Structure 1
Amino acid sequence: MPARRSRRIVGIAMQRLLAWTVRHWVLSAITLLIGCAALGYALAAPPPPREIRIATGTQADSAYTQAAEAYAARLEATGFRVRRVPTQGSVENLDLLRAGRVDVALVQGGIADRARDAGLESLGAVFHEPVWVFRGAGQDAGGLAALRGRRIAVGPEGSGTRALAFALMAANDLRPDDVEALPVTGTAAAEAMLAGTADAAILVTARLAGAVATLMTRPGIVLDDFAGLADAYEARLPFLTTVRMPEGGLSLADNRPPRPVALVAPVASVVVPEDTHPQVVSLLVGIMQEVHRPRTLFSAEGVFPNTLAQDLPMNADAERYYARGRTVLQAWLPFWVAVTVERLLVILLPVVGIALPLIRFGPVLYTWQMETRVWRHYETLRRIEAQAEATRDDAGRSALRDRLEALEGRVARLSLPVTYRRHVFALRRDIAYVRAQLAPGRHQAVAQFDDASEAAA
């Protein structure tokens, strides 16, 4: 008995809970939808930052500065505020990236270290940076080892040129104190050689104009050809690859250089922090493709940007972009409009997922709840009818009539939409039928009929 009573209590409680839930299904549905929208908003990525800090070179004619300016111009055209941060080169760029003082920077191959620069990622390689080794008149052409004790322009502290120059010298068993390292590069290095204050210059640049063109056109200044040693350099320094400057590559009219020249070159990569916004990553890779896809003297069209030979891990969003291209929304809509629509979709997806079942089953539940408000009175009416059949005394039947009147009053006060009022009228007809069974004197007539039936039998 106690177990059956417990089950009955639990059943009643569940019925009441379900009835309450259905009765308030509109409020529950709205609350659920708001909760789903809040969940979607929490899961949606925050909007991209409005400002991007980009590292640029200090020399206006450097490949880094020109690439950074091309990126900045396109970012500004998209609606970003771009803050340019002048730097000395790759080493300083990495320092600023690790410190969180810039958001985007170009980094020369072979400079980054995965352990030291953990938290930074690559968006792809964008161009070769050939190594140009120029010697002054009278300098021995016996490789870099012949420059021992000479004055060599290797670039300022913090530059990738300086770091690579020392790496090349180390491969030739030269220590930094075996040479007089001059902290100049670019135009300043060319001027030092022309003035005789530098015996050699090591330049790392993808630009043929400026210092490279100046030194290649001056009599007595020689450009080293790495043809016989390129494979050895690649084996010692795996981040280097061999590129070739064709005959007449600088000037067809002057046939300069007069023969093909083999050079070794790292690749420059665009580096960002690992938490860079995914949509900013997609935008940057698209910009990189616009800027670096055309053919150059050292690469065919479409070679850059690419994901090859990266010192740092590739950004996952950048890899997806290389594999699949931009999203449909970003292909057809302005960037900030696409960002807004994509975030709204993330927010609305859980809402739609809940709303569709509500739209489908909501009317059914509403109908059930409206009809239940009428049907629950039938249980009371059934009990009154059953007791009327078993009660013969006037006092008991009078009490049943009072209960019936109270039931009819409650039914009359039911507030239902017009569509469901027919159920109220049907219940009131059934109440009238039971009232007729309880009419005074009816039970005597029924009893006399039953007695006559028994006597006849």
Structure 2
Amino acid sequence: MKENIKILAAMRPFARFTRISLRDLVVTVLPVLLVTAIGIGAAYWLMRPAPPNTLTITAGPTGSTFQLYAKKYQKVLAQKGIKLKILPSNGSLENLDRLLDPAAKVDVGFVQGGLAKGRQVDRLFSLGSVFHEPLALFYRSAKPLTLISQLAGKRLAIGPEGSGTRAVALELLKANGIGPDNATLLDLSGEAAAWGLVDGTVDAAFLMGDSATPGDMRSLIWTPGVHLYDFVQAEAYSRRYPYLNQLVIPMGALDFGQNIPGADVHLLAPTVELVARDTLHPALSDLLIEAAKEVHGRATLLQSAGEFPAPVEHEYRLSDDAKRYYTSGKKFLYRSLPFWLATLVDRFLVLFVPVVVLFIPGLKLVPALYSWRIRSRIYRWYGLLISIERTLLAQQSAEERTETLRRLDEIEAGVNGMKIPLAYADQFYVLRDHIRFVRERYAKESAAG
């Protein structure tokens, strides 16, 4: 019997030893790579994609203050590699409608205060207040008007549908008891309203920069018989309507020699905000505010240097990115690198974090996981060997002992056929010794039986 066992053992193939098991290494590293890939994917999903190189702004009619400002933004952004498309509109109200319409392909727009009442603007945010938009009321009259209520029965140009001019004009006229039943309201603005005042077909015209050009308003100041209305009740209006601000054109500010205007003129002016959808990329938010500082930051007749843009919330919440910009400025990368390079590095860092947090620590665990995998393969054979040893010690018939011995031969063949790294050769040979020990014990039991 002993001779037969020795012959069978000699016929078994020997284990294949390698420096390292590539298959086991791959299986060990794969979970680390998978977890890291999931982490990178989650980081990519949570962060915004790369900023687009094109933006669309909804501005105002051709030649209007809104459009002129948009063109200045266009030049500033072009220096950063961003193309700004300017979409004409009838004014603030249409700009707001477009921003609220998901089907409208716009990103930002100029919107004056007082238009958001009764609208769902949760998906919009403000990048800051950027300038005041004075309401100029020009009128024809032999005597100066002191109250808006004196316009009852007159032909009034209140601006086209969709303009912020129209919205403010209707609000002020309503507060003074004037409406379609006691006045003729004309959908005229800009050049048409100016010519109406000149030729006498219009008695008064409300003009604002969202729907009229600065040239139209300047020309009316010099037109004989046309007066610029002095809002003597400006303080009261500004308190009744919080979105309106009181501004003053000082005496002689337009022409010192002719002393125009001949006295201080009070105006009402809603604040215009740069409003964007909440999908605007943070990097582009910074660029737009930076452009607003360059365009609106200088001193003018009606504002001080550095007054705009301002992080003042009115009807639209200030975005978190805008709050961060006004508090601490641009991010370090965008201050130190060109915009395109800063964007690239910023995205790389976001993707690099999962690699540092997951992949590098995971690699440190690879040796331990690899060792556990090799040892577990050896321990599996030990489990089978112990089971057979217990079976051999039990009372068995001759056929059962033969079957048990066959299983022991299969175990030994399986062990000898293993692919084992050289570093674990000692454990391999210890296992073979234990298999031989079980065989010898089996032989002794058989001889004693």
TM-score by length of 2: 0.76
**Higher alpha-carbon deviation: 235-244 or 252-261:** 252-261
Distance in 2 (CA, whole Å) between partners of 1:176 and 1:386 is 106
SS in 2 for 1:210: helix
> 5+ unaligned residues in a row in structure 2: which ranges?
1-22, 395-401
**Paired residues for 1:54-203 under 5 Å:** 54-60=57-63, 62-99=64-101, 100-101=103-104, 102-115=106-119, 117=121, 119-203=123-207
Distance in 1 (CA, whole Å) between partners of 2:389 and 2:155 is 118
> Is 1:37 paired with 2:18?
no
Identity of matched residues, %: 36
Of 212, 220, 226 in structure 2, the residue corresponding to residue 215 of structure 1 is: 220
Distance in 2 (CA, whole Å) between partners of 1:117 and 1:412 is 74
**Paired residues for 1:419-430 under 5 Å:** 419-424=423-428
**Paired residues for 1:1-400 under 5 Å:** 24-60=27-63, 62-99=64-101, 100-101=103-104, 102-115=106-119, 117=121, 119-205=123-209, 209-226=214-231, 228-252=232-256, 254-308=258-312, 310-374=314-378
Distance in 2 (CA, whole Å) between partners of 1:375 and 1:162 is 86
By how many angstroms is 1:36 displaced?
3.0
Evaluate the alpha carbon distance shift between residue 77 and residue 114 of structure 1 in structure 2; reply closer, same or farther with a 3 A threshold: farther
> 5+ unaligned residues in a row in structure 1: which ranges?
1-19, 391-397, 445-457
By how many angstroms is 1:125 displaced?
1.4
The Cα offsets for residues 287-332 of structure 1, whole Å up to 9 and x where unpaired, read as: 2233222222222222212233522333344334333433233333
Distance in 2 (CA, whole Å) between partners of 1:59 and 1:23 is 65
By how many angstroms is 1:230 displaced?
1.6
Distance in 2 (CA, whole Å) between partners of 1:379 and 1:213 is 98
SS in 2 for 1:57: coil
Cα RMSD, aligned residues only: 4.1
Evaluate the alpha carbon distance shift between residue 259 and residue 364 of structure 1 in structure 2; reply closer, same or farther with a 3 A threshold: same
Distance in 1 (CA, whole Å) between partners of 2:383 and 2:304 is 87
The Cα offsets for residues 356-403 of structure 1, whole Å up to 9 and x where unpaired, read as: 33122211221233344456656778899999999xxxxxxx999999
The Cα offsets for residues 35-81 of structure 1, whole Å up to 9 and x where unpaired, read as: 33333333333444454332132231x22011222223344444445
Distance in 1 (CA, whole Å) between partners of 2:294 and 2:218 is 26
Aligned to 1:454: none
Return the letter of the residue paired with 2:253: G
Evaluate the alpha carbon distance shift between residue 128 and residue 338 of structure 1 in structure 2; reply closer, same or farther with a 3 A threshold: same
SS in 1 for 2:312: coil
By how many angstroms is 1:431 displaced?
7.3
Indicate if the aligned counterparts of 1:166 and 1:176 stay in contact, CA closer than 8 A: no
By how many angstroms is 1:438 displaced?
9.7
Evaluate the alpha carbon distance shift between residue 429 and residue 240 of structure 1 in structure 2; reply closer, same or farther with a 3 A threshold: same
Indicate if the aligned counterparts of 2:153 and 2:184 stay in contact, CA closer than 8 A: yes
By how many angstroms is 1:109 displaced?
1.5
Distance in 2 (CA, whole Å) between partners of 1:302 and 1:150 is 41
By how many angstroms is 1:253 displaced?
5.3
TM-score by length of 1: 0.75
The Cα offsets for residues 103-126 of structure 1, whole Å up to 9 and x where unpaired, read as: 322112212225355543333211
SS in 1 for 2:45: helix
SS in 1 for 2:419: coil
The Cα offsets for residues 174-201 of structure 1, whole Å up to 9 and x where unpaired, read as: 2234333343333443333233333333
Aligned to 1:9: none
Evaluate the alpha carbon distance shift between residue 67 and residue 434 of structure 1 in structure 2; reply closer, same or farther with a 3 A threshold: same
The Cα offsets for residues 139-193 of structure 1, whole Å up to 9 and x where unpaired, read as: 4423212222223332222211122122222222222343333433334433332
Indicate if the aligned counterparts of 1:22 and 1:369 stay in contact, CA closer than 8 A: no
